[in-house]
Copies of this chain bind each other. A is one copy, B any other.
């Protein structure tokens, strides 16, 4: 278990100097936030070029997976707060991307559906997202690329129940 700092591997990265101070560059939550921010930022530029903002894209993507989700479900999935999601849905509905429908069995629940147009957007962007993801993964070695999602999923799953 080599522990002499990052990478004796191959396509050597700049020595990861730990620049000035050394906290954030070695802090897991910072690395996660930084990678997420920059990586998502790249794709969000594309998303905005299609007239959507990041949270709207997230909602579309989640609905692509689970059309007819109730607001609370959708908020959790799309990493948005409920009251914020409600307002985002307002706007998306006004633009014809989604529609609301009361749940027939529990009238408190509001289910959110993609419209025809919304689904078209979602399908297109999901394809673009997959392509972008492939480009990102191509920056990693096979080993790294193979490890990253399972590790993230493991962490996510084990955080839920703790």
Contact = CB atoms under 8 A, between A and B. Distances in A.
Identify which of A11, A13, A35 gathers the most chain B CB atoms within 10 Å of its CB: A35
A86 B24 CA distance: 21
B153 A13 contact: yes
Number of copies of this protein chain within its complex: 2
Interface in A39-56: 39-40, 42-43
B65 A43 contact: no
Interface in A113-149: 126, 129-130, 132-133, 136-137, 139-142, 144, 146-149
A106 interface: no
Given A21-B65, A23-B126, A150-B7, A31 B156 contact: yes
Contact of A1 (B30, B132, B146, B150): B146
Identify which of A132, A146, A159 gathers the most chain B CB atoms within 10 Å of its CB: A159
A23 B154 contact: no
Q: Chain A: interface secondary structure? A: helix
28 contacts: A1-B146, A3-B146, A13-B154, A13-B157, A14-B157, A16-B153, A21-B66, A23-B64, A23-B126, A23-B129, A26-B149, A27-B61, A27-B130, A28-B39, A29-B40, A29-B133, A30-B61, A31-B152, A31-B156, A34-B156, A35-B156, A36-B36, A38-B159, A42-B159, A140-B154, A140-B155, A144-B151, A147-B151
Given A1-B142, A6-B150, A140-B151, 8 more contacts: A13-B158, A14-B157, A23-B64, A25-B65, A29-B132, A30-B61, A136-B159, A144-B147
